[in-house]
Amino acid sequence: MIELDAEQQRARDWFESLRDSICAEFEAIEREAGSDAGFEYTPWDRTDPSGRPGGGGVRGVMKGKVFEKVGVNVSTVGGMFEGEFAKTIHGAGDDPRFFATGISLVAHMANPHVPAVHMNTRFLVTTKRWFGGGADLNPPIPYDEDTADFHAALKTACDAHDPDHYPRFRKWADEYFYIPHRKVHRGVGGIFYDHLEGDFEDNFAFTQDVGRAFLSIFPKLVRRRMGSEWTAGDLDRQRAWRGRYAEFNLVYDRGTLFGLKTGGNIDAILMSLPPVATWD
């Protein structure tokens, strides 16, 4: 086990409680669809390069009737960044010690009309302390109503803390969730923020509200679309789109790189990959 200070423990507790709330809601949706699918939880431990205990996490995955594959992972890790990687992390260039706790979620849906989604929030400590994360909607078949409602929920969460948050973090998401070699965005956007440091209480409260906003809106979108009729052409479109999603996560996603560079659980790191995808 790694030792946590009061702020680190509070952040860890929140991410784990948010995981529990989200998983319960997703399982409830499966019940509404006549499925008894539930999350399977796999704990994992990490050894730091120093040889000391480096924390760990729990990988949660459900494969059901509505959620073809959804992963909701929590982790709390710490120790030392190895080599040159430390210089790429905020506040770790001169001191490679770090702590990180967070939640990461990716849902790939069975019905092509139901949007896939990503949500991640985290608290990191190096020589600095900051929060980061966000959420973005990734529909194979976009609907303007869904996009508007998703963004409205995130804007409400942002506006409660700083009127500059939403326009800034929406722009950041548009720039980050972009596939340069395809010259397309990964989805219809959301918010993305990083290195949010300063007052712990304010930034923690904002990060909590991002999680609550996600929990308030995404299940509504799932219920809105999960009964829609779909065609073989819709399924082909979904699987081709998933190929683009996989390309982004394997080539550009910072979270994937962070997990691999810090000795995280491989199955947890790569749970974001879709169950079935196609390439022409």
pLDDT of residue 48: 87
CB 268 within 8 A of CB 259: yes
pLDDT of residue 280: 83
Phi, psi of 180 (to 5 degrees): -60, -40
Q: Which of 219, 220, 154 is nearest to 192 (CA)?
A: 154
Please give the structure tokens belonging to residue 114: 């139901």
pLDDT of residue 163: 97
Please give the structure tokens belonging to residue 21: 């709330």
Phi, psi of 126 (to 5 degrees): -125, -125
User: Considering the domain 6-272 in this protein, what is its CATH number?
Assistant: 3.40.1500.10
Distance of alpha carbon 65 from alpha carbon 112, whole angstroms: 13
* Residue pLDDT, tens place only, 78-126: 998 888 888 889 888 889 999 999 999 999 999 999 999 999 999 999 9
Please give the structure tokens belonging to residue 162: 């700083």
pLDDT of residue 117: 98
Which residues are within 8 A (CB) of 3 and not within 5 positions of it... i.e. 6 or more apart? none
The β-bridge partners of 109 are: 67
State the average pLDDT over residues 140-149.
Answer: 98
CB-count burial class (<10 Å; 0-12, 13-18, 19+) for 183: exposed
Residue 148 identity (one-letter amino acid): A
Give the active site residue among 108, 113, 118, 151.
Answer: 118
pLDDT of residue 222: 98
* Residue pLDDT, tens place only, 22-56: 999 999 999 999 999 999 999 999 998 888 889 99
Coil, helix or strand at residue 277? coil
b or e along 164-177 (b: 16 or more beta carbons within 10 Å of the residue's beta carbon)?
ebbeebbebbbebb
Q: How far is the CA of 70 from the CAs of 40, 79, 198, 224, in angstroms?
A: 11, 29, 33, 18
Q: Which of 2, 33, 39 is nearest to 19 (CA)?
A: 39
Angle at alpha carbon of residue 180, lines to 176 and 185, rounded to 5°: 55
Q: Are strands 129-138 and 67-80 parallel, antiparallel or unpaired?
A: unpaired
* Catalytic residue flag (residue 118): yes
| Helix (H) or strand (E) segment spanning residue 41 | strand 40-47
Q: What single-letter DSSP state applies at residue 69? A: E
Q: Tell me the pTM.
A: 0.95
Please give the structure tokens belonging to residue 55: 């924390």
